Each structure stands twice: as structure tokens, then as C-alpha cells.
């Protein structure tokens, strides 16, 4: 059994008081693991690579809800636009335009989160805080009728320093509150996706309402 039922129960229990949602991150894991998770009652899955996502979705049929959480290239948007539930990793206006265009072709409105760079590490994708706020007020946004910006997503630094992680999550929560005030649709701006296997408890205490858990549910991978 590759899906850790015990860990699943524990995470669900931890989530209860916060009314937060769980996205099971199944990247690099086989479709059979996803089917086990579905059997256990988990329906939201996060994937980082377009081809891998499309292949596995074929295998598990249409039972799951798919979240895209990796860096998304504009030319790959069309492959996921017909079915994706939430694109959590929007990191440029160009990408947002492309999602809007492909969503229109599929006659859909696609929910998106802006990925914000909060970690100390240099390599991660995402807007900085100023860019995210500027985007909320971007005039062309009101013309993008086939996307809905539902909130923010971020990853804390890879560190054991809990204070550092707490500081980063707290600043993302603060930014989330500010962006909601700027949103054209504050009611719909309701999702703050932060927290992974190693730091989800800190994230929940800092205001997260969606956590993305991979290794704790499916075991270690060779890449993050």
C-alpha cells in the first residue's frame, strides 16, 4: 500500500478545527496511488507537470479534482484548460492571459491562485508582494472574463527554523487580506493555499485554508 491511510486520518483530524481543505500532491507517484486515495475519500489532487497530469487523469478517469501547482508554461495551458479545477501557480500576467484565452475556448471560467514568492531561496517562481498587489488593480483584469482569481499560494523556505517559516506565512496571510480588499470580487477571493508536509501545522495557525501534502501521504520522492 503506497497511500498512507494513517497519515491521511491524522491530517484530516488536524484540519478539522480550521475548516481547511486538503490537496493531496501526487506528483511522481503512480495512478494506482491516486486510486487508493480516492477509495479512502480524497478527491483533490495536486500535480506539477502537465504531461504527467494528463496521463494519470486518463488512467484514473474523471473521478478526481485536479489542481495544478507547478510552474506552468503558456504553451501547455491548452492541455489542461478543459478540466483543471484550480491553477494555483499563476506567476505572470502573460500566463493569466493565456489561461483566460484557453478557458474561453473551453467555455469555462477557470479558478486561479497567484503564486507569491515568500521564501528566502532565490529559485522559486512567483510574484513578489508588490507585484501581487499591483496585479489586483490591473485594469485589464476586468476584461478577463474567463478566469477568477480566488486567492494566493506560497511556499515557505526549506528550513527547520520555525520562526522563519512563521514569519513568511504570516506575511502571506497579511498580503492575502490586503489583496482581498483590492479584489473586484472579495467574496470569491477566499483561498489561501499554504503549508506542505513539513510545515502545514504552522501554516494553519497562520491562516491557511488549503494545504498541499505530498510526501506525508504518498512517501518520499527524489524531487521536491
Ligand X SMILES: *Cc1c(COP(=O)(O)O)cnc(C)c1O
DSSP 80-120: HTTT-SEEEEE--HHHHHHHHHHHHHTT--EEEEEEEE-SS
CB of 103 to ligand X, least distance (A): 22
Residue 201 and residue 211: Cα distance in Å, rounded? 9
Nearer to ligand X, 43 or 49 (CB): 49
Residue (110 or 144) nearer to ligand X, CB: 110
Shortest spacing between CB 155 and ligand X, in angstroms: 6
Comparison of 25 and 77: residue with beta carbon closer to ligand X = 25
Residue with the closest Cβ to ligand X? 214
Triad 200, 63, 21: Cα angle to 5°: 20
Q: Which is nearer to ligand X, 106 or 215 (CB)?
A: 215
Instruction: Confirm if 194 and 211 have CB atoms less than 8 A apart.
Output: yes
Nearer to ligand X, 97 or 215 (CB): 215
User: CB 214 → ligand X: shortest distance, Å?
Assistant: 3
> Residue 29 or residue 144: which is nearer to ligand X going by CB?
29
* Cα–Cα distance for residue pair 164/18, rounded to 1 Å: 22
Cβ atoms 217, 37 nearer than 8 A: yes
Q: How far is the CB of 209 from ligand X (least distance, A)?
A: 15
Cα 89–chain centre separation? 6
Least distance in angstroms from the C-beta of 70 to ligand X:
6
Which residues are near ligand X by CB under 6 A? 25, 27, 48, 69-70, 155, 196-198, 212-216, 224
Angle at 79 between CA 48 and CA 106, to 5 degrees: 125
Q: Is-contact 219 25, C-beta < 8 A?
A: no
Amino acid at each position: 500500500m503506497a497511500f498512507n491511510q494513517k497519515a491521511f486520518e491524522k491530517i484530516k483530524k488536524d484540519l478539522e478545527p480550521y475548516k481547511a481543505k486538503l490537496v493531496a500532491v501526487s506528483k511522481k507517484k503512480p495512478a494506482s496511488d491516486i486510486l487508493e486515495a480516492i477509495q479512502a475519500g480524497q478527491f483533490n489532487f495536486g500535480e506539477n507537470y502537465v504531461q504527467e497530469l494528463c496521463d494519470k487523469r486518463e488512467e484514473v478517469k474523471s473521478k478526481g479534482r485536479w489542481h495544478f501547482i507547478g510552474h506552468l508554461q503558456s504553451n501547455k495551458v491548452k492541455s489542461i484548460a478543459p478540466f483543471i479545477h484550480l491553477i494555483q501557480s499563476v506567476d505572470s500576467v502573460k500566463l493569466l492571459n493565456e489561461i483566460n484565452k484557453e478557458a474561453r475556448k473551453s467555455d469555462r471560467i477557470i479558478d486561479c491562485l497567484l503564486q507569491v514568492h515568500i521564501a528566502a531561496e532565490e529559485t522559486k517562481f512567483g510574484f513578489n508582494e508588490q507585484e501581487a498587489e499591483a496585479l489586483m488593480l490591473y485594469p485589464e483584469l476586468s476584461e478577463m472574463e474567463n478566469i477568477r482569481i480566488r486567492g494566493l499560494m506560497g511556499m515557505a523556505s526549506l528550513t527547520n527554523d520555525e520562526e522563519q517559516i512563521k514569519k513568511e506565512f504570516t506575511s502571506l496571510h497579511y498580503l492575502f487580506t490586503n489583496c482581498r480588499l483590492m479584489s473586484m470580487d472579495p467574496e470569491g477571493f477566499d483561498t489561501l493555499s499554504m503549508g506542505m508536509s513539513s510545515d502545514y501545522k504552522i501554516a494553519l495557525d497562520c491562516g491557511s485554508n488549503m494545504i498541499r501534502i505530498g510526501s506525508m501521504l504518498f512517501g518520499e520522492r527524489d524531487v521536491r
